[in-house]
Chains A and B, each alone.
Chain A
């Protein structure tokens, strides 16, 4: 599923990285521990987290992730947003918490497999 479809289906905000809205999302990973994501997330994941700093984008880029979804209304810091635009990895937002948005993403991805 494309990031743009996900945005539409889950009513997500697009903060930045609009040039990556055509990225393909094949899976999801929910974690606020950077080394956990580094060690275990697959390429093509949407990463669900409450971390809002630039290092998130460094990891997303190194791991070839497709998008980052910030939970509970958290917004990206300025330098995170800048790197999101640079890398073409969108940072999306939801007011929901990690459990809920992860469940919704899971259901969407299961149904399109």
Chain B
């Protein structure tokens, strides 16, 4: 059982993806199979960027055991009023500046769903959001 933690600053696009990059290195070192690494990295990046794009700050907790990689992202932010709507491909409340950078296509949460084996999102408006997902290790 291994545990890792990362902090994410809301609004700081210069650091977006730094935690995902660290995680990718860790998984490579642990010799996790490349297909699994690819899936985890896609889901992790989207969840990390969502904190940067939509929240004020957040923490990422990663637990790895022999069966799965479990990632929990807890942020302080505006929260998500309607999670089913937010999950829809193409739905986005991203600002025009963020969209011009190529973020805000409304494909992030669908990417997380498609690249994880378990996904739970809980959120409280004006408080924050918790995204928890797991990817199984096929060993």
Contacts and interface: CB of A to CB of B under 8 A. Distances in A.
Interface residues of B, number: 25
A52 to B, nearest CB: 10
Given A33-B105, A34-B102, 4 more contacts: A34-B103, A38-B42, A56-B102, A62-B17
Interface of B is mostly: helix
Given A35-B46, A35-B103, A38-B42, A58 B108 contact: no
Interface of A: 32-36, 38-39, 43, 49, 51, 53-56, 58-59, 61-63, 79
A33 B17 contact: no
B111 A35 contact: yes
A41 B135 CA distance: 20
Interface of A is mostly: helix
Query: Which 5 A/B pairs are nearest by Cβ-Cβ distance?
Result: A58-B17, A35-B107, A33-B105, A34-B102, A39-B111
Interface of B: 13-14, 16-18, 20-21, 24, 38, 41-42, 45-46, 49, 101-103, 105-108, 110-111, 114-115
Contacts of B13: 53-55
Contacts of A43: 38
Contacts of B106: 35
Nearest to B92: A35
